[in-house]
């Protein structure tokens, strides 16, 4: 029996005795490696001046971390360029923001090839490989070219748009079909999986039986695996964290006002500017609430080297200032806007203290903040989640107040509805949401994906091949 090798763009090697709580991907990887010893392979996050890439190896808590550094050029072309300025916007349906260059595409393919070259030396014939996210789409192809017949699975954490949008990606035909080199391709929702299958049918002439596509005598399975959180642990954390002095200080500072919370990376996909406009509309149209509610928007800066991110940072900062100027009083600031990153315990405590969780991305693979907000609530007196219908989480969280983030009227109305929702309805909705998240937690997600990967059909029998059309038919 081989080992599990998880591959992702970025790896955080845990520091000895560190009490810091792991981020989303780290929790997911640990959940997948829980019952097996294994390897986590990826970029160290360091940029080196040398073009020769050396790997480092650290063993911690039975997981072997193997990392490589990137050269300045690789980092610029692969990471800042192709992944963040081309794949990220296009996969989030923002063709208008994509800045394509052939050079960045070459850098992207080159780094994937580096990854494959280093992995080549590590992989045993029975090892199972699980590759994460859009940074590494061509990795299986690069491994297959080196002769690896291992089971290799891929999970896309962000949305997969329909072929009408995917085909706007220059050179999509070189990149997207290479996903067929995986044995299993997992998406956050059934819609994402369906969009990809339409691409394969329309652009590659492939046909599926129950989401199994046959490509050159091999089968590629496509399915939805909605990512979860550590639901029980998060609920427990929130119960304890609401008593933290910092959280208690925030609650006291509200002076009895209801708290609305938004927590996001500062990214155009999160819809923060639209959300601020909807909150402004709420203050204008439901003026009774003026002075009785405080909206805390925590927005951690990210990808600051990329111009689009500097632009939205300015836009959002000035919109918050304008709304506060127009509606605030000497003793009341409607919006508290902060760019800090908080620990998960502080966030959990703040979520629990908030009457409303406002999660309104324009497009999001899943959105874990929505799930963390639900898990953090006091079941006897829960807050209400307002959730964009365009977040992957909306597929599971049907008992949230689902809104269209492009329609400020619907968001403003939902804020009013959430703030005045009777206790019995809040409890019913929360019970239903918490039940869904308790069932599909992060461990369940990792187990489901790995079981599907282990069971995915690989080579077809001759009879099966005759039954199914293959490439170009």
Candidates 36, 207, 265, 395: give the one binding ligand ADQ (CB under 6 A): 265
354 near ligand ADQ (CB under 6 A): no
Least separation in angstroms between CB 292 and ligand ADQ: 25
* In the complex, least distance from residue 299 CB atom to ligand ADQ, rounded to whole angstroms: 7
Residue 369 interacts with ligand ADQ (CB under 6 A): yes or no: yes
Q: Which residues contact 62 (CB under 8 A, 6 or more apart)?
A: 33, 37
Is residue 364 part of the annotated active site? The answer reads: yes
Per rule CB under 6 A, is residue 399 in the interface with ligand ADQ?
no
Q: Which of 75, 92, 148, 157 is catalytic?
A: 157
Q: Tell me if 86 contacts ligand ADQ by CB under 6 A.
A: no
Binding of ligand ADQ at residue 259 (CB under 6 A)? no
Contact flag: residue 111 with ligand ADQ (CB under 6 A):
no
Q: Does 446 bind ligand ADQ (CB under 6 A)?
A: no
Residue of 148, 364, 430, 441 marked catalytic: 364
User: Considering beta carbons, is residue 127 or 264 the nearer one to ligand ADQ?
Assistant: 264
Q: For ligand ADQ, give the closer residue by CB, 139 or 369.
A: 369
286 within 8 A of 382, measured Cβ to Cβ: no
| Residue bearing tokens 């990149």 | 175
Please state the closest distance from residue 23 (CB atom) to ligand ADQ, in A: 6
Residue 461 per-residue DSSP state: P
Q: How far is the C-alpha of 465 from the C-alpha of 459, rounded, in Å? A: 9
Class of residue 462 by CB neighbours under 10 A (exposed 0-12, middle 13-18, buried 19+):
exposed
The residue from 4, 31, 137, 158 that contacts ligand ADQ (CB under 6 A) is: 158
Q: Are 25 and 39 in contact (CB under 8 A)?
A: no
- The kind and range of the H/E element at 398 are none
Binding to ligand ADQ by CB under 6 A, coded x per residue (else -) over 138-157, reads: -------------------x
Residue 260 touches ligand ADQ, criterion: CB under 6 A: no
For the chain, state the CA radius of gyration: 23
**Which of residues 300, 324, 410, 438 is near ligand ADQ by CB under 6 A?**
300
Q: Is 368 in the site for ligand ADQ (CB under 6 A)?
A: yes
CA-nearest of 217, 150, 137, 148 to 179 is 137
Q: Which is nearer to ligand ADQ, 411 or 413 (CB)?
A: 411
Smaller CB separation from ligand ADQ, 341 or 468: 341
Instruction: Let me know: does 6 contact 32? Beta carbons within 8 Å.
Output: yes
Neighbouring residues of 255: CB distance < 8 A, sequence distance ≥ 6: none
74 binds ligand ADQ (CB under 6 A): no
Site for ligand ADQ in 315-344 (CB under 6 A): 341-342
Q: Is 133 a catalytic residue?
A: no
Cβ atoms within 10 Å, residue 345 = 18
For position 440 contacting ligand ADQ by CB under 6 A, the verdict is: no
Q: Least CB distance from residue 344 to ligand ADQ, whole Å?
A: 6
Kindly state whether residue 364 participates in binding ligand ADQ, applying the rule CB under 6 A.
yes
Q: Are 426 and 383 in contact (CB under 8 A)?
A: yes
- Is residue 159 within 8 Å of residue 392, measured between CB atoms? yes
Residue with tokens 């072929």: 163
Number of neighbouring beta carbons within 10 Å of residue 212: 16
Task: Give me the least distance between CB of 48 and ligand ADQ, in Å please.
Answer: 26
Strands across the sheet containing 401-403? 335-338, 293-300, 258-265, 356-359, 384-388, 401-403
Interface residue list for ligand ADQ (CB under 6 A): 24, 157-158, 227, 263-265, 298, 300, 341-342, 347, 364-369, 372
Q: Which residues are catalytic?
A: 157, 364
């Amino acid at each position: 029996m081989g080992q599990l090798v998880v591959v992702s763009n970025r790896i955080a090697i845990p520091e000895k005795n560190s009490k810091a709580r792991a981020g989303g991907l780290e929790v997911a990887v640990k959940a997948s490696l829980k019952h097996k010893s294994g390897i986590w392979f990826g970029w160290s996050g360091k940029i080196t001046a040398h073009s020769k890439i050396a790997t480092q190896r650290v063993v911690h808590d039975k997981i072997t971390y193997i990392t490589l550094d990137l050269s300045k050029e690789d980092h610029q072309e692969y990471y800042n360029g192709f992944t963040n300025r081309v794949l990220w916007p296009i996969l989030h349906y923002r063709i208008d923001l994509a800045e394509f260059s052939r050079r960045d595409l070459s850098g992207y393919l080159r780094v994937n090839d580096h990854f494959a070259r280093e992995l080549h030396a590590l992989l045993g014939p029975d090892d199972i490989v699980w590759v994460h996210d859009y940074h590494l789409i061509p990795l299986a192809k690069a491994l297959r070219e080196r002769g690896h017949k291992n089971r290799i699975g891929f999970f896309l954490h962000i949305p997969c748009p329909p072929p009408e949008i995917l085909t706007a990606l220059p050179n999509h035909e070189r990149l997207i079909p290479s996903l067929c080199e995986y044995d299993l391709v997992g998406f956050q929702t059934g819609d994402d999986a369906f969009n990809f299958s339409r691409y394969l049918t329309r652009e590659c002439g492939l046909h599926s039986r129950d989401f199994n596509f046959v490509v050159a005598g091999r089968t590629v399975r496509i399915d939805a695996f909605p990512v979860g959180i550590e639901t029980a642990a998060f609920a427990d954390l929130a119960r304890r964290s609401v008593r933290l002095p910092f959280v208690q200080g925030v609650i006291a500072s509200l002076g009895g006002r209801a708290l609305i919370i938004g927590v996001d990376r500062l990214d155009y996909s999160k819809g923060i500017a639209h959300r601020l406009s909807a909150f402004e509309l709420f203050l204008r149209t439901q003026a009774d609430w003026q002075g009785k509610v405080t909206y805390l928007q925590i927005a951690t800066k990210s990808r600051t080297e990329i111009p689009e991110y500097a632009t939205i940072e300015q836009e959002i900062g000035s919109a918050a200032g304008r709304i506060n100027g127009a509606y605030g009083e000497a003793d009341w600031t409607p919006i508290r806007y902060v760019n800090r990153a908080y620990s998960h315990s502080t966030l959990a405590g703040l979520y629990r203290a908030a009457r409303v969780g406002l999660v309104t991305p324009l497009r999001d693979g899943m959105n874990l903040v929505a799930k963390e907000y639900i898990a953090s609530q006091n079941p006897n007196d829960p807050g209400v989640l307002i959730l964009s219908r365009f977040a992957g989480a909306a597929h599971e969280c049907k008992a949230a107040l689902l809104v269209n983030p492009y329609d400020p009227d619907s968001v403003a109305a939902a804020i009013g509805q959430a703030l005045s929702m009777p206790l019995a309805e809040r409890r019913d909705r929360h019970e239903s949401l918490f039940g869904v998240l308790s069932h599909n937690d992060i461990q369940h997600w990792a187990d489901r994906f790995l079981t599907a990967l282990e069971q995915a059909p690989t080579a077809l029998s001759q009879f099966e091949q005759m039954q199914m059309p293959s490439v170009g038919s």
